[in-house]
Structures are given as C-alpha cells and as structure tokens.
C-alpha cells in the first residue's frame, strides 16, 4: 500500500518540525514569538527599565527625525519592516508631514495584531496600507505596487537586523536594495556592543516579562499546533556568545520528557538540560554598519547614536552606481536563519 500522505503543514508547523528535529541544537524561529499575546508581551518588554534599546531608539528618532527632510524630499511612501506597534515611527512621519504632498505609510509585519495597533497609532498622520507578510515577501509586494518617481523611505527600526545570522546580513540587505531605487533611503536601527552585564540584563529582567515572552512561543505551539508542552518544565536562559557577538535566548528543558505535537503527529524527545534556541540578537559597531552599507549597494549618509545607551540609527542612501537587478539569492528565505528580536 502506498504511504498515506500527511496533510499539507502550515509554515509554522513545518518550521517547528524542522527546528525541533535537529539532534544538535533544537530551535524555533523568533518570528513565531509574535502572536497576539507575544506582541503584547514585547510591548511590555519595551517598558522595562533593563531594556534600554527602545528608549534609546526613541530618543535618537525624536532628536534627529527633523533632519530627514534635508535628505529625503517629497516621499511617496514610508515603508517599515517589522513595524510592531509603530509607536516609534510617529516622530518620523511627523517630520515628513511638512512636505508638499501626502505620503502613505506601509507597515510590513507577520503579526496582524501589531499591524492593527500600528494602523490605530499612526492613521492620523498618513494613509496606512499594511502588508501582513514576511519582510522580504512584503517588501517585494510593495515594490511591485509602487508607482511614480517620488522616493521611498524604508525603515527597519529596533535592531531587528540583529535577529539575522551575521553571515546572512549582507545577502538580506542586498535583497532589500534590489527592491529599492536610486534616490530612496533606508533607516536602519542597530543596538551597539556594550558591557556584557547590561546586555544580559536587558534580556533577562528580574520581573520575568522576557521569560514570559520567550515561553509564550511554546504556548503558541500548544494553542496553534495542538502540542502538549508543560511550560513549567522549561526555563528561560540567556547567554552572551562572545565569538558571534550576540545575545542568545534559549528555553532549557528541566527534565527528560516526550512532547506530542498533534499538527505534526509526532512525539519529540527532550533531554534534561538541552535547549530550544529561540532568538539571537547580534550587537554591532558603527564601523560594521558602514561596511554593511557599502557591501550591499548603499551609501552611508550618517549614524545617529544615543548618548545614554549605545544604539545607532544609520541612514543610508541607495547608491545609484549599483545594479538594481534582484539577486536570485533573494528568492531564498533568509528569515529561517533569523532567530529574533
Ligand atoms: C522586536 S519587534 C520590533 C518592533 C518595532 N520595529 C520596534 O522597533 O519596536 C519585531 C517586529 O517584527 C515582526 N517580525 C519578526 N520577524 C518578522 C519577519 N520575518 N517578517 C516580518 N515581520 C517580522 C514582529 O511581528 C514584530 O512586530
């Protein structure tokens, strides 16, 4: 008898199956943190005293957004990768409002609840045209729909770039460049390297909000894929990986166990002490950011750095001398190699 075909798995199910099948290091991609509860927990993280990133990013944007009209005149759209609630974007849209023509705001995010709060937050400043998709897919959709010759400002705030594997960043950025045109600008936020104890605490707050955010991904696997994870048997673990220059978040299994996942019709074995790797947050230097710009067809215009918490917003211009053909590699899904926040 031919084998009975398993029903087509959702992308969440197939990514989870692949990530948990590894003998060496189990993982779940960080993009799956952001269901409705995960998005609310992330917003709570941004309010934690230990998580200085968001406040630093906000301070930089509040101080420097008013300089944007010097560089980008009369944009047709401000598009944003991984917009989240869009709270930080307000100062950018306000700064660009004094331009002769209206522009649209296009948030691109996998979380429909984030897009909903974003539309509510910013609807008074621009016509909001959300795209619920992965970064690359969403940007490609936006590029195809784009009309006219007015420039675009693309945002990638909050150091989400740090969620990509370092070796994948140049290819990811070249893919972004291929969706833009000469005269467009890219504003990219990046958390900078700082002392290790400050970085560890930012991802391991004593209140336990980040632990809840991390554990919620197993809760989501339970809710959406019919798994039987007992969340009390996994513990939030944060590591600084010096060789890779990144904070890693893991979920550590507290005892040998087997967990059934209905959507996969599989039972996964976990050993005591082994971890599920859920997120990487790479930390950068401004020199590294300038190198990434050059390597991916952008010209670095300026780096705005917060004085209190080392965090940079890098403003890049699309370099007219670089070919615009979309590299074939862009079709590859790089978000699999992202383990984010
Ligand atoms: C850490 S939050 C950052 C939100 C906001 N940009 C900020 O700086 O506060 C990351 C956002 O990106 C979205 N996201 C994560 N991975 C994504 C992916 N691969 N494609 C599209 N959106 C993604 C999440 O849903 C979430 O809203």
More confident residue, 336 or 289: 289
Residue 4 lies in a domain: no
224 and 168 within one domain: no
Residue 124 lies in a domain: yes
> Which residue has the CA at smallest separation from atom 5 of ligand 1?
84
Q: What is the predicted pLDDT for the residue at 241? A: 98
More confident residue, 319 or 183: 183
Query: Which residue has tokens 């927990």?
Result: 41
How does the average pLDDT of the chain come out, rounded?
92
> Which residue has the CA at smallest separation from atom 15 of ligand 1?
31
Q: What is the predicted pLDDT for the residue at 322? A: 64
Residue 1 lies in a domain: no
Q: pLDDT band for position 106 (50/70/90)?
A: very high
Ligand 1 centroid to residue 282 C-alpha, Å: 15
Q: What is the predicted pLDDT for the residue at 339? A: 42
Q: What is the predicted pLDDT for the residue at 34? A: 96
Mutate to test the pocket of ligand 1, among 160, 209, 312 (most ligand atoms within 8 A of CB): 160
Domain end position, chosen among 235, 256, 282: 282
Q: What is the pLDDT averaged over residues 7-28?
A: 91
Query: Which residue has tokens 């690359």?
Result: 136
Ligand 1 centroid to residue 255 C-alpha, Å: 32
Quick check: 284 and 311 in contact, CB under 8 A? no
Q: What is the predicted pLDDT for the residue at 340? A: 44
76 and 22 within one domain: no
152 and 249 within one domain: no
Domain end position, chosen among 265, 282, 299: 282
CATH of the domain at 185: 3.40.50.150
Angle made by CA atoms 234, 204, 200, in degrees to the nearest 5: 125
Residue 307 lies in a domain: yes
258 and 231 within one domain: yes
Residue 47 lies in a domain: no
pTM of the predicted structure, to 2 decimals? 0.92
Kindly state the percentage of the chain with pLDDT values over 90.
89
Q: What is the pLDDT averaged over residues 218-223?
A: 98
> Which residues have C-beta atoms less than 6 Å from ligand 1?
31, 34, 42, 54, 82-84, 88, 109-111, 114, 134-135, 157-158, 160, 335, 338, 340-341
Ligand 1 centroid to residue 53 C-alpha, Å: 14
Q: What is the predicted pLDDT for the residue at 7? A: 52
Q: Report whether pLDDT(289) > 70.
A: yes
Ligand 1 centroid to residue 186 C-alpha, Å: 16
Interatomic CA distance for residues 187 and 318, integer angstroms: 11
Which residues are within 8 A (CB) of 7 and not within 5 positions of it... i.e. 6 or more apart?
A: none
Number of domains in the chain: 2
Residue 288 lies in domain: 52-194+283-337
Which tens digits make up the pLDDT trace of 257-287?
Answer: 999 999 999 999 999 999 999 999 999 999 9
Angle made by CA atoms 237, 239, 244, in degrees to the nearest 5: 145
Quick check: 293 and 314 in contact, CB under 8 A? yes
Which tens digits make up the pLDDT trace of 20-43?
Answer: 999 899 999 999 999 999 999 999
Report the atom number in ligand 1 closest to the C-alpha of 335. Answer: 19
Residue 81 lies in a domain: yes
> Which residue has the CA at smallest separation from atom 17 of ligand 1?
31
Q: Report whether pLDDT(72) > 80.
A: yes
Q: pLDDT band for position 332 (50/70/90)?
A: very low
Residue 199 lies in a domain: no
Quick check: 161 and 190 in contact, CB under 8 A? yes
Q: Report whether pLDDT(328) > 60.
A: no
Residue 303 lies in a domain: yes
185 and 166 within one domain: yes
Q: Report whether pLDDT(108) > 60.
A: yes
173 and 156 within one domain: yes
287 and 264 within one domain: no
250 and 152 within one domain: no
Which residues are within 8 A (CB) of 236 and not within 5 positions of it... i.e. 6 or more apart?
A: 204, 208, 210, 211, 214, 215, 249, 250, 251, 252
> Which residue has the CA at smallest separation from atom 26 of ligand 1?
84
Quick check: 7 and 313 in contact, CB under 8 A? no
> Which residue has the CA at smallest separation from atom 20 of ligand 1?
134
301 and 178 within one domain: yes
More confident residue, 328 or 217: 217
115 and 68 within one domain: yes
Q: What is the predicted pLDDT for the residue at 125? A: 95
H/E element, 258? strand 257-261
258 and 128 within one domain: no
Q: What is the predicted pLDDT for the residue at 331? A: 38
Tokens coding 1 = 């008898």
Q: Report whether pLDDT(321) > 80.
A: no
Ligand 1 centroid to residue 69 C-alpha, Å: 26
Q: Report whether pLDDT(341) > 60.
A: no
Q: What is the pLDDT averaged over residues 42-60?
A: 98
96 and 34 within one domain: no
Q: What is the pLDDT averaged over residues 205-232?
A: 98
């Amino acid at each position: 008898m031919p084998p009975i075909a398993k029903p087509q798995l959702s992308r969440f199910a197939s990514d989870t199956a692949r990530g948990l099948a590894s003998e060496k290091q189990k993982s779940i991609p960080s993009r799956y943190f952001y269901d409705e509860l995960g998005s609310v927990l992330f917003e709570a993280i941004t309010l934690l005293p230990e998580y200085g990133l968001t406040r630093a990013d906000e301070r930089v944007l509040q101080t420097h957004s008013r300089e944007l009209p010097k560089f980008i005149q009369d944009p047709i759209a401000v598009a944003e990768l991984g917009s989240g609630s869009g709270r930080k974007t307000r100062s950018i849209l306000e700064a660009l409002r004094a331009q002769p023509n209206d522009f649209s705001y296009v948030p691109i995010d996998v979380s429909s609840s984030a897009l909903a709060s974003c539309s509510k937050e910013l609807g008074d400043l621009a016509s909001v045209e959300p795209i619920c998709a992965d970064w690359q897919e969403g940007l490609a959709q936006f590029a195809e729909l784009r009309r006219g010759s007015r420039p675009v400002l693309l945002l990638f705030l909050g150091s989400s770039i740090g969620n990509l594997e370092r070796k994948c960043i140049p290819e990811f950025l070249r893919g972004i460049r291929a969706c833009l045109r000469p005269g467009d600008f890219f504003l990219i936020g990046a958390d900078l390297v700082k002392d290790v104890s400050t970085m560890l605490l930012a991802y391991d707050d004593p209140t336990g909000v980040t632990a809840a955010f991390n554990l919620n991904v197993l809760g989501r696997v339970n809710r959406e894929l019919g798994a039987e994870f007992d969340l009390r048997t996994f513990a939030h673990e944060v590591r600084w990986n010096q060789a890779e220059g990144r904070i890693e978040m893991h979920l550590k299994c507290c005892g040998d166990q087997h967990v059934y996942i209905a959507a996969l019709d599989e039972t996964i074995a976990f050993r005591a002490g082994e971890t599920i790797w859920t997120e990487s947050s790479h930390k950068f230097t401004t020199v590294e950011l300038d190198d990434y710009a050059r390597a991916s067809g952008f010209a670095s215009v300026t780096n705005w750095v917060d004085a209190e918490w080392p965090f940079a917003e890098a403003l890049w211009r699309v370099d007219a001398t670089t070919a615009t053909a979309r590299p074939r590699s862009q079709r590859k899904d790089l978000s699999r190699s992202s383990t984010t926040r």
